[in-house]
Structures are given as structure tokens and as C-alpha cells.
Chains A and B, each alone.
Chain A
Amino acid sequence: MTDPQPPFDQDEYRRRQRERARIMAILLLAFVALVFGITIAKMGLYE
């Protein structure tokens, strides 16, 4: 006999979605800052 499945937890589903969205937002902002830094550094290389 197998254990019954616990009920689907909508709040847990939403919590994970929010967690991933928050991390993605932080990573995208960091990426924008990095590309800005790369651009400035590259401009300096060719001056």
C-alpha cells in the first residue's frame, strides 16, 4: 500500500514562483550593471 499524496498546496506553488521571480529580477539587474561595466571597460581599451 502506498502513502496517499498530500493535497496540492497552492500557497507553496505561488511561494516558489515568487522566489524564482525575485531571484531572476536580481540577476537581470546584475547583468545590466555588468554589461554597463563591460561597455565602459571596452571603450577604455580602444581610446
Chain B
Amino acid sequence: MQNAATDMPRYPASAADLFALTKPRVMSLVVFTALCGLLAAPETIPTVLGFTAILCIAVAAGASGALNQWYEADVDAKMKRTRGRPLPAGRMEKRTALHFGVGLGAFSVLLMGLATNYLAAAILAFSIFFYAVVYTVWLKPRTPQNIVIGGAAGAFPPLIGWAAVTGDVTLLPVLMFLIIFLWTPPHFWALSLFVKTDYDAAGIPMLPVVAGNAATRRQVVIYTLPMVAAAIAPWPLGLTGPVYGAASLVLNAVFLWLAIRVGMNKAEDPAAMGPEKKLFGYSILYLFALFAILTLDRMFFA
């Protein structure tokens, strides 16, 4: 509810709205991939420290989400999908979101440093900076390649989970980072193909808006190829066992097939974008399954 004189909310932000600022749905993937990085590491740490590391990564993701919503409140107001968020809907002061985001971010980095090690804390701090500044402020409003570099922000959690246990970063966590990094463009471009009009209204230079559907579909196929290579690589490199090898071959073959179907689709009407919707839905299942099998393979079979 707004104050007519100052255009400010008249009541303190509710706990539910503060929670919504953290983008809890995005957080589930962050927590899951971080947990996979933590469990796939060759050493173990006490449960309470592992829990704290995951908590810090989740809180940092929440901080990034809050800072993103603070900066993008005006853009969010123009899109149907986001105009009900606490800031564009006028239920919260912008300053509250800024303080909440900075506070959560600082808290998560300090606690990570105290509970685990400073390498994990440093990567965590960098991941918040990367999402809130490099992606949200610099790239997203300027370049249609925003998703490519921005994808790195979502790829840090397994790296941080691994670093929290071992205190270093080796080839497997880097491959886990690469898988998410290369998965992000086909995942988001598949979505942006059938919600293009929404991004158009907000003036965000998403690839379908700037380069058209055909170029976007081509890019979906192009980015899928190195993603498939990175996803299968842990097996021939001897970092995982044959269980992951077999599962990754199947999962990646399906992903590639769906991406090729997107590449061959010529539809301009979102209602006829069945292949894009299928790829978007499958891409979420793919990442969860791939990381779950990689972790189980490392824990029990490798």
C-alpha cells in the first residue's frame, strides 16, 4: 500500500515479501548444485559445517536476488511475469530491498569464511558481485549475450561447495561449473523464445528480441554442443565411473535431440513453440538428474 504524499509504502515490508525478494524458486537449484559439489568432493567435513556452507550459499543467492530486484524494480514493473513482485507492486521501499540484500550478502560471506575457509568465502563474494553488478547492472541491459556471461553467476555454487570441503578447486568442480555455464544459454533462450513479447515490453535486449527467432534457435544448438562435451567429459577423464558415463550419454543425447528440434522449428507464434517448451522443461530435469547421478557416482561407485 502506497503513501499518496511520498509514494512510499506506509507499512513495514512483510516477512513474506522479504522472503520473495530472495527468489526462493531459483534458490532450490542453487542449493542442489552446491550440495552436489560438496558431496562430490573427495574429502568430508563435519555435518554442521557442511550445513553452514550450504546455508551461506543459499543466503548469498538470496542476497543476489534481492539486489537484482532492487536494481530492476522499474524494469520488473513493465513485465507481466514480474510486476507483482514486492518492489514494482509498491509493497516495499527500494531502500529496504537494498539494505536487505547487502546485509544478507555480507552475512553469508563472513559466516562462510569463519565456518569453512577463505577461498570458499572469496568465491562466494565474487559470485554475488558477478550476479548483482556484472550481470544485472552491466550486461543484462546492454547485450543480447547477457545470458551467456550471466550464466556464470549461477554456475558458482558447485565450485563453492567443493571449495568449502577441500579448500581448493580442481578439474571436476571446474567441469561442474562449465556444465551449468554452458547449460544456461539454451535453457534461457528456449524460455525467451516463447516469452519474447514480455522482454520486448521491458526493453531487455534478449537474443530473440534483438537477433530474431532463427538466430536464437541456431545459438541454442551451438551452445548445446560444448555443453554436451563438458557434461560427458568427467567419465573419459576418469573423474567418475561408468554409471555416470552411461547416464550422461543418455541425458545428453536427449538434450541434443530436443535442441536440434528447436533448431529446425520455424514457428513465430508462441502457441506453436512445442519444441522450445519441451527443451525448457527437459533442461531443468536434465540438470537435476545429471548432478544427482554425478554425485551418487562419486559417492558410491567411483
Chain A residues within 8 Å of B, Cβ to Cβ: 5-6, 8, 12-13, 16-17, 19-20, 23, 34, 37-38, 40-42, 44-45
Contacts and interface: CB of A to CB of B under 8 A. Distances in A.
Interface stretch (B46-54, B164-172, B243-251): B46-54
Contact of B11 (A12, A23, A37): A12
A8 B11 CA distance: 9
A21 B239 CA distance: 49
A23 B16 CA distance: 11
B49 A41 contact: yes
A16 B14 contact: yes
Contacts, number: 36
Contacts of B237: none
Nearest to B46: A41
Main secondary structure of the interface of B (DSSP, over half): loop
Interface string B84-117: 0000000000000000000000000000001100
B14 A19 contact: yes
Contacts of B115: 38, 42
A38 B14 contact: no
Interface residues of B, number: 16
A5 B10 CA distance: 11
Contacts of A19: 14-15
Given A37-B48, A38-B115, A8 B10 contact: yes
Interface in B1-37: 1, 3-4, 10-15
Given A5-B4, A34-B52, A38-B48, A13 B11 contact: yes
Nearest to B19: A23
A37 B10 CA distance: 40
A37 B14 CA distance: 30
B52 A38 contact: yes
Contacts of A23: 15
A5 B1 CA distance: 9
Contacts of B1: 6
Nearest to B14: A16
A38 B12 contact: no
Per CB-CB distance, the 4 closest pairs between chain A and chain B, nearest first, are A41-B46, A37-B48, A16-B12, A41-B48
Contacts of A42: 49, 115
Contacts of B3: 5
A41 to B, nearest CB: 4
A17 to B, nearest CB: 6
Contacts of B10: 8, 13
A29 to B, nearest CB: 15
29 contacts: A5-B4, A6-B1, A8-B10, A12-B11, A13-B10, A13-B11, A16-B11, A16-B13, A16-B14, A19-B14, A19-B15, A20-B12, A20-B14, A20-B15, A23-B15, A34-B52, A34-B55, A37-B48, A38-B48, A38-B49, A38-B52, A38-B114, A38-B115, A40-B48, A41-B46, A41-B48, A42-B115, A44-B46, A45-B46
